[in-house]
Amino acid sequence: MLTAAGLGSTLWHGLADPRIALAFGVLIAVGELARWGALPGEREPAPVAAAGALAYALLGENAGQPVGHGVLQTVTVVLTAGLAGAVPHVARGRGPALDHMVRRVLTVGFAAFCFQPLYDSAGLRERFGAGPGYAMLLLLLLALTALCDAVLAALVLRARTRHPFGPLLRDELRALLHIGSAVCATGAVIALGVAVAGLWALPVFCVPLLLTQLSFRRYAAVRTTYRQTIASLARATEIAGYTPQGHARRVAELSLAVGRELGLSGPELTVLEYAALMHDIGQLSLVDPVPDGATALLPVAEQRRIALLGGAVVRQTGVPAAVAVVVERQADPYREQPMSARIVRAVNAYDDLAGECATASGPLSALERLRLGTAHDYQPEVVESLARVLSRGRSGPWSDGVTHG
């Protein structure tokens, strides 16, 4: 509806300040083209386009002369330029997701709606002028806009995954401290620079953000390689025949889903994922493999010995010490374990038990056996969260037929 109103208004009344609209449109389109090399899951793959869109929404003057493009034209220019810049990516089958474009339009529309009517008020313009008060106003509006974008992103993820809204919002707010803060700061600087120096400020003030984007992608690439290394190390038990194929991956994926269900976020989920991937690595120290790698069926003393051996191996890999603690303590009574260890223990036992009973009733039988062990071995809240995740079909091949008990 917002897009239709913007397009209709712009077509009916024509472009106000077309030179400015064209300059910002080119900047946004170039920013969208610069998403080449974006990594999967990157929160803002086109930061230059986002900063240019925010700057256009918060633009009040051009070289000292008032501008009057308004809210609806802002939405139109941002949408048109974004689509134009996305054409080459769409042609290669790697275009921006619809959710991303919707968020961009709504966020920019929110910023323009907050700023443009206020700035068009003569009293407000005279009160703030071009001094520190004006800069503070822009920063306040950018903070509100960033909060709006984080809420929208969390709502989209909530609708898609049905994970709790609170942890998703915390993750989005935490992400604002990284590339999000650079985008907001660049948008404010561009708006202030154009107000004083004119459109020449556009290329000048975008260079720092481009460098930040390159640095962030290098860092993200290193993190991705690091995770792939851990996943490859975790597969050593499968290659050696100690555990079934795909066991570590299944436990990691299901543990992450349960962790999100229980409200974990950010670094907690990273520790949980790494620990789930490497939870069986202690079996490499055994002379005789455990049948089918099912450590959940072993005596408690043997489970603890394997867990301690695994923790010793994990400490040599350079991962955070918290990961080794989770691996070491996965065989302890759940009341003495950190939350991540409770999750890994329950999910690992579920996968072992479901694999042992590879029938249609296997997942249900595995859950029932976990519930019977909630007095000492498994935390009841973790088991019930696992059941909810499985009932939504997020458990992969072992979820068939599972219903929430």
Element containing residue 62 per DSSP (H, E): strand 61-62
The reply to whether 201 and 276 lie within a common domain is no
Is 225 exposed, middle or buried (CB count within 10 Å of its CB: 0-12, 13-18, 19+)? exposed
For the chain, first and last CA: distance in Å? 42
Is 147 exposed, middle or buried (CB count within 10 Å of its CB: 0-12, 13-18, 19+)? middle
CATH code of the domain containing 272: 1.10.3210.10
Out of 223, 244, 269, pick the residue that ends a domain: 223
Evaluate whether residue 252 is within a structural domain: yes
Check residue 401 and give its pLDDT: 37
The reply to whether 287 and 377 lie within a common domain is yes
Evaluate whether residue 372 is within a structural domain: yes
**Residues 35, 39, 42, 45, Cα dihedral to 10°:** 0
Distance CA 197, CA 393 (A): 56
Check residue 99 and give its pLDDT: 82
* Amino acid type, 224: T
The reply to whether 256 and 332 lie within a common domain is yes
The reply to whether 244 and 219 lie within a common domain is no
- 341, 281, 340, 286: which is closest to 313 by C-alpha? 281
Check residue 306 and give its pLDDT: 85
Evaluate whether residue 403 is within a structural domain: no
The reply to whether 82 and 132 lie within a common domain is yes
Evaluate whether residue 405 is within a structural domain: no
Contact 49, 7 (CB under 8 A): no
Check residue 238 and give its pLDDT: 82
The reply to whether 76 and 218 lie within a common domain is yes
User: What residues have CB less than 8 Å from 397, skipping those under 6 apart?
Assistant: 250
SS3 286: coil
Q: How far is CA 161 from the centre of its chain?
A: 12
The reply to whether 166 and 245 lie within a common domain is no
Distance CA 145, CA 148 (A): 5
CB neighbourhood size of 232 (10 A): 11
Contact 82, 6 (CB under 8 A): no
Check residue 181 and give its pLDDT: 81
Evaluate whether residue 80 is within a structural domain: yes
CB burial of 59-97 (b: ≥16 within 10 Å; e: otherwise) equals: bbbbeeeebebbbbbbbbbbbbbbbbbbeebeeeeebbe
Evaluate whether residue 299 is within a structural domain: yes
Evaluate whether residue 228 is within a structural domain: no
DSSP 299-350: -HHHHHHHHHHHHHHHTTTT--HHHHHHHHTTTS-GGGS-HHHHHHHHHHHH
The reply to whether 202 and 269 lie within a common domain is no
Give the chain's domain count.
Answer: 2
Contact 48, 27 (CB under 8 A): yes
Range of the domain at 198: 2-223
pLDDT in tens, the chain (405 residues): 888 998 898 889 888 888 999 999 998 888 888 776 555 555 667 788 888 899 999 888 888 788 888 889 999 999 999 888 888 877 777 766 788 888 889 999 999 998 888 776 655 556 655 567 777 877 888 889 989 988 998 898 888 877 788 888 888 888 777 777 888 888 888 888 888 888 888 888 888 777 777 777 777 778 778 888 888 888 888 887 778 888 889 999 999 989 988 888 778 888 999 999 988 888 887 777 777 767 777 788 888 888 888 888 888 887 888 888 998 888 888 888 889 999 999 998 898 888 655 444 567 888 888 888 877 788 899 999 998 888 876 434 434 333 333
The reply to whether 246 and 171 lie within a common domain is no
Out of 223, 257, 284, pick the residue that ends a domain: 223
The reply to whether 24 and 148 lie within a common domain is yes
Contact 25, 79 (CB under 8 A): no
Out of 175, 197, 223, pick the residue that ends a domain: 223
Check residue 209 and give its pLDDT: 77
The reply to whether 184 and 250 lie within a common domain is no
The reply to whether 252 and 327 lie within a common domain is yes
Evaluate whether residue 163 is within a structural domain: yes
Check residue 344 and give its pLDDT: 92
Q: How far is CA 358 from the centre of its chain?
A: 34
